[in-house]
Each structure stands twice: as C-alpha cells, then as structure tokens.
Amino acid sequence: MLKTLLDAFWSEALWLPPNVTWSDVAPGPRPGTAVVYTDHRHLWLTVPMALILIMLRFVLDKYIFAPFGKALGIKHDRNIEVPPNHKLEAAYKANPASKQLCALAKQLDLSERQVQRWWRRRRLQDKPSTLVKFRESCWRATFYFYNLMVGWMVLWDKEWLWDVDYCYIGYPHQGVTNDIEWLYIVALGFYLSQTLSLYVDVRRKDFWQLVVHHAATLSLLSFSWVCNLHRIGSLLMLTLDCSEALLEPTKATKYAGYHRASEYMFTAFTALWIVTRIGMYSYFIIGSATYRAAAYFSPFLMFQLLVFLAWVLLALNLYWTWLILQVAYRAIKHGQIDGDIRSSSSEASDSSTTHAPNRDRQIGI
C-alpha cells in the first residue's frame, strides 16, 4: 500500500508536463548539455538550515539586538502591577469564558467591572515587552535585508529577471546553478524556522493568516523546486522580500521611540508594498503563470496547484494591504502611527488599561 501511495504521489502526470518523464529531468547534469536539473532530495537541507538560523537568531538576539535595544532606551519590563488575588489568579490560569466572569465576580463580592479590569491588567502583565518585539523585528529585518541583497546579486545577470517569459521558455529543460539552489535552501530554511517560531514569538492578530502564508510559501518554493520551476520561484522570493526588508526596520524604529523617522519609513514602506506585493506580484508572478506559461508548455496538475497557492498569497496580500491602509488612515487622522504595522499583538486592545485609575487598588483590583 505504501508503494502504491508513493507511486501515486510521484506520478509524472501530477508533477510534469505531458510527454515528459522523470528520466527526462533526472537530477544532475543532462548528458551532452550544460543543463543541471534540480534534485528534490536537497530539500532535506532546509531542516538543518532552519536549525542553524534559529541558533543564529538566539546568538544575535542575546549579544546584539538586546544590548542595542537597551542602549536605545527600550525597557524590558512593562511595570504593570497587579495586586495578588489567589482566586482570580486561579481563574485566570484556567482561562474561563467571559460569561463566567460575572459568576466569578459574585463569588468574590466584587463588581464585574472590577474583575474585568483586573483581568485586563493581568493579561497585559503577560504581554511581551517592547524590547522583545524590537528584538524580533531586528532579526527579521536582518534576514530580509540579507536575502534581498543576495537575491538581487544572484538574479542580476539572469535573463528571466528582465524578461519573465524566460521563466517558461525551454521548460522543463532549464538548468539550475549553485547560487539559485542556495538561495532556495536558505529561504526555505528561514520560512520553516519562522513557522516554528510563530508559537513562541509575540502572538499577533493575524496569527492564522501568517500560518497560511508560511505554509503556502513553503509549498510554493518546495513544489516549484521539484518541478524545476526554480526561475519563477526565485522571482517570487525577490518580490516578497522587497517590502519586508523595509517593514521590519520601520517597526523596530517605532519601538525605539523614533516616531518621526518611523512615519517617513512607513510612508515609503506602504508605497513599496503596494508596488511589489500587489502590482508586480499580480503582473509578473500570477499574470505570467496564469496566461504566459500556457504559450510554452501545457499546464499540468502541480503547476495549477502552484498557481492556486500564488492566488492564496495574493488574497493575503490584499488583506494585509487593507490593514496597512487602516494604519495609514489613523496616522493621517491622529498625526502618528497607532499600533503595529500590518498586524498587532493579540492583546493590543487592552493597551488602554495600562494607565487605569488606582481607585480600586484598596479592594485588591
């Protein structure tokens, strides 16, 4: 049964264009030509690469990002005091539904508003500090800037960077070079490490959208590698990284308290996001895959799945664009950026309780 499943999974009808067999695109150099095909077995290198990136992040976080943030005056502690209340603490750890708070208030002979205020302040106490968010943004900014610069250097002399049709001309007999392979391995390792760290990093409102985004991106890059569609995959990476390389420094600058600089960077980021994530991505990635590719080879099942995943990413880009425009509107209305860019921590709505009145402290709330 396992052999049957594997044979069905690696079916040539699923992965390759009509009249192309696995022997035609066997990993390694093609006899008599300079064409070197991708090797799907190399995808396993993304696992150790992800572990390396996680360790590198830990080192940079401890010895560079954290000291740098403290030097900028970013405090680690939130300094939110919550008077001890054993019964409320036990209920908080049990995480009851909001309708249970009313019953809890009656048991403690407190008003529901008092319990809700304690509850919000206790949640704020568990929120990560600005320094933690600053360090996370520094790490992502470092990688995205590195990957963007390397991506430009690797693709600068590639003909498909300047004419997207070359992503499909001659397919599937397109050779892969070592620089493209390592660009793939490093990017896949990063997205894998980011997927794992989602569960320990600052929880954001768009958590599940990020899970879908990382899953779709990992699938797109992995499947395109197996199908030897590495050319359009490399353009995909370059398109996605452009705006991210400016997003994270914008957030880090805001966390550091340089609001004017952050506003200027946010303006540039918004323009770059719309141009790359909406305009260029729609035209060069989705447009070419949907319309131009059919002129050079017959669509096959995996290619159609890749196009579908590309549309999923576009839907997420449109969703995040809406959030970005909302931040831009609030920035214009109030004169400064309010909240995190593109998404915020899941407890952002509680920020107003940080300076709650002290009139209830005498009763332990």
Average the pLDDT over 267-271 and give the result. 94
pLDDT of residue 192: 95
Specify the pLDDT at position 143: 96
| Least confident span in 11-15, 183-187, 331-335, 349-353 | 349-353
Whether the per-residue pLDDT at 347 is higher than 50: the answer is no
Indicate if the pLDDT at residue 17 is higher than 70. yes
Q: Is the pLDDT of residue 181 over 70?
A: yes
**Mean pLDDT (the chain, rounded):** 84
How far is Cα 195 from Cα 199, in angstroms, rounded to an integer? 8
**pLDDT for the residue 281:** 96
Give, as one character, the DSSP assignment of residue 30.
P
Q: Where are the domains of the chain?
A: 35-71+128-337
Question: Cα torsion for 195, 200, 203, 206, to the nearest 10°?
Answer: 10
Taking only the tens place, the pLDDT of each residue in 271-309 is: 999 999 999 999 999 999 999 999 999 989 999 999 999
CA 237, chain centre distance (Å): 12
Tell me the one-letter amino acid at 45.
Answer: L
Rounded to two decimals, the pTM is 0.81
CA distances in angstroms from 82 to 79, 98, 102, 111, 177, listed in the order given: 10, 19, 20, 17, 58
Confidence band (pLDDT; 50, 70, 90) for 35? confident
In whole angstroms, give the CA distance from residue 354 to residue 169. Answer: 59
Q: What is the pLDDT of residue 163?
A: 95
